[in-house]
Structure formats: C-alpha cells, structure tokens
C-alpha cells in the first residue's frame, strides 16, 4: 500500500493529519484538538504575502523578525486541510524552498503533536483553503528562524468519527484508544465465519467511497484462525501515518476483500471485515505472516477521499 512522501528535510509542510482543524463538514464534528493554536503578534503582522491564486506567493519582510512563534491568517477557506508551501529564512528573507502552488508538487506529510509539534500548533483550527503565515522561533538548530507560508489544500480525519453502530454476531468486538482512536480487538471465543462478512462499527458523515476512488485510511490486519494473535500489519504502528491507495483489485491493486469492505462506506466510518482466503491471499498466502488459505480480519478507518 502506498504512503505519502515526507518533506521534513526542509521542514516544508503538506497533507495535514491533525485532530482539531476547523470544518463545516459534519464528518469532523466532535474531533478534539491535538494542540493549542499559535496566536498572532506584531512581528508576524509585518510579513506581507502577495500573489494571484495558482501562483507562488511573494513573501516580503519590511523588518526582519526574531522568529518568535506567531501566526497570521491571510485568507480563510470555507471548510476544513494537502499543502502548498514557501519556506523563508526569517533573518534574511531568502526563500529556502517552495512548491509551485499549481497542484503539481504539493507534498504530503503526517503531522502529530509530538514529532512535528510546531506544525500542529500552527495549523490546529485552520480551515481547508486558507493561506497562513507562521514563524518558527530561533534556536541552536535554526539560528536565523524560519517563516512558513502555507496554503491548506486538504485535511484528513485522524481516526474514524461518527455514530457508533451495533455489532452483529459473528465478528469480534473492537476497543479504541481514547485519545488516538487506534482500534484493538477483544479476543473472540468463536471461529472465523466461512464467508466474507463485514460491519460498520462507526458511521461517518462524509462522502460515499466507491470502487476506483483514491482513499486514505488507517488499518490493522490479523490472521484469524482458531484464535487471533498479533496483527501482521498496521498503519497505526508503521511510523509513516495512514495509507493511501486506489480502491481496485487486479494487477497492482488490493485484495478483493479490502475493496468489498470499503465500497459504499462513508468517510469517517470504521469498518470491520472478515475475509476468507478467496477474498484475501488465496491458497498461496503472503510471506511468512499470512499462510495459504488464511482468513483475514481487518479494522479500517476511512479518513478521506482524494480527488
């Protein structure tokens, strides 16, 4: 499954995966902010950002600042956040890196409240479509300070979000971490069903997912025999954030059961699916972790559809 490329080598930002971004989209209702947002100030108000939509903005520093953490909202979008960016030396005004602002090279990055806290602070509560500028304070690692101009293009849910649904018989119960929403299983006392079976555990309020869509999800997968052991794969534990892929089978595509599990569901939903070998990796299995003929169990959070 493909993942978003990282661009933190120059500390430039992109796809925002944070709890707490403001949105008029009901799929985001009730999401708790991960970080306290930065506030404005005199230094950041001196930064002038000009340019037409679809072009790289010009960033001007009438007076070079000292890089204290401040934020200014330049233009507000109409809903919740992929990001175009300009990265500027706060002392000299030199542009260090930028995207083209035409949709061709906006980068992707998973942000969290620990490893990328400054972006979490800067972008919490900012709506999709907004143009913001914020200053990173001077430090031993960054003696000049850095100013960022970011246009927020797309934001994804941090985890499933919606109405809890009743669990049908024949599938294990799922528990969730209170802060992150990461799912875990309650070990079932029964064996796997012989046929494909799925259930919606959380019903999201976002758009409907269809076969052929590019989707971004969090997932955990287990082999389900007479009992369920450790997960063989988990985007939650990968360190790379959620996974993005096209919802299709065949050459270069997904196993059939994964497509069945997501087709017709809505963004924000959490789905559990039991997949017999015919809907998984067949009689051959996949590597040492998935034996031939194995039934698979997945819990999948649908975080967004990519247009």
pTM: 0.73
User: Which pair of structure tokens corresponds to residue 84?
Assistant: 């175009």
DSSP state of 277: G
Per the DSSP assignment, residues forming a β-bridge with 286 are 290
- Give the CATH number of domain 8-152; options: 3.40.50.150, 3.10.50.40, 2.60.40.2380, 3.20.20.10: 3.10.50.40
Every domain range in the chain assigned CATH 3.10.50.40: 8-152, 163-306
> Is the CB of residue 219 less than 8 Å from the CB of residue 243?
yes
Confidence at residue 36, expressed as pLDDT on a 0 to 100 scale: 62
> Half-sphere exposure of 139 toward its Cβ, with a 13 Å CA cutoff?
7
What is the rounded distance in angstroms from the CA atom of residue 272 to the CA atom of residue 267? Answer: 15
β 131-136/70-75 pair status? antiparallel
Q: Are residues 188 and 182 in contact, defined by beta-carbon separation less than 8 angstroms?
A: no
**Token duo for residue 196:** 């494909």
Per-residue pLDDT at 62:
60
Contact 27, 206 (CB under 8 A): yes
Beta bridge partner(s), residue 122: none
Residue 169: the pLDDT is 93
CATH of 163-306, one of 3.20.20.140, 3.50.50.60, 3.10.50.40, 3.40.50.2300: 3.10.50.40
State both tokens at 73: 């909202």
How many angstroms separate the CA atoms of 224 and 128, rounded? Answer: 40
CA 4, 7, 8, 9 dihedral sign is positive
- Show the tokens assigned to 78: 């109409």
pLDDT tens, residue order, the chain (307 aa) = 433 333 233 333 323 333 344 444 567 666 666 566 555 556 656 666 677 777 777 767 665 555 454 444 444 443 235 788 888 898 888 999 998 988 888 867 666 666 566 777 777 777 777 888 887 778 888 888 888 888 888 878 889 999 999 999 999 999 999 888 999 999 898 999 999 999 999 999 999 999 999 999 999 999 998 678 889 999 999 887 889 999 999 988 999 999 999 999 999 999 999 999 999 999 999 999 999 999 999 999 999 998 7
Phi-psi region at 206: left, alpha or beta (left = phi > 0; alpha = psi -120 to 50): beta
Sign of CA dihedral 187, 181, 179, 27: negative
């Amino acid at each position: 499954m493909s993942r978003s490329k990282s661009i933190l080598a120059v500390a430039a930002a992109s796809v925002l995966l944070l709890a707490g971004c403001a949105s008029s989209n009901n799929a985001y209702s009730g999401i708790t902010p991960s970080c306290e947002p930065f506030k404005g100030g005199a230094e950041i108000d001196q930064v002038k950002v000009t340019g037409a939509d679809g072009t790289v903005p010009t960033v001007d520093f009438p007076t070079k600042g000292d890089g204290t953490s401040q934020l200014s909202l330049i233009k507000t979008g109409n809903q919740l956040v992929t990001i175009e960016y300009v990265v500027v030396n706060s002392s000299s005004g030199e542009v260090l890196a930028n995207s083209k602002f035409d949709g061709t090279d906006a980068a992707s990055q998973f942000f969290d409240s620990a490893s990328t806290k400054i972006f979490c602070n800067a972008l919490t509560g900012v709506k999709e479509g907004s143009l913001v500028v914020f200053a990173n304070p001077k430090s031993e690692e960054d003696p000049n300070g850095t100013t960022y101009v970011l246009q927020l293009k797309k934001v994804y849910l941090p985890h499933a979000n919606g109405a809890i649904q009743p669990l049908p018989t024949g599938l294990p119960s799922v528990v969730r971490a209170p802060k992150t929403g990461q799912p875990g299983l309650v070990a079932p006392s029964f064996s796997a069903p012989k046929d494909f079976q799925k259930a919606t555990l959380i019903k999201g309020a976002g758009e409907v997912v269809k076969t052929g869509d590019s989707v971004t999800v969090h997932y955990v997968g287990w082999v389900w025999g007479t009992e369920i052991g450790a997960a063989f794969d988990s985007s939650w534990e990968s360190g790379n954030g959620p996974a993005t892929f096209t919802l299709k089978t065949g050459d270069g595509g997904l196993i059939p059961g994964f497509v069945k599990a997501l087709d017709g569901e809505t963004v924000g939903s959490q789905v559990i699916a039991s997949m017999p070998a015919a809907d998984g990796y067949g009689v051959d299995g996949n590597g040492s972790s998935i034996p031939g003929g194995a039934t698979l169990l997945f819990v999948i959070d649908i975080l967004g559809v990519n247009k």
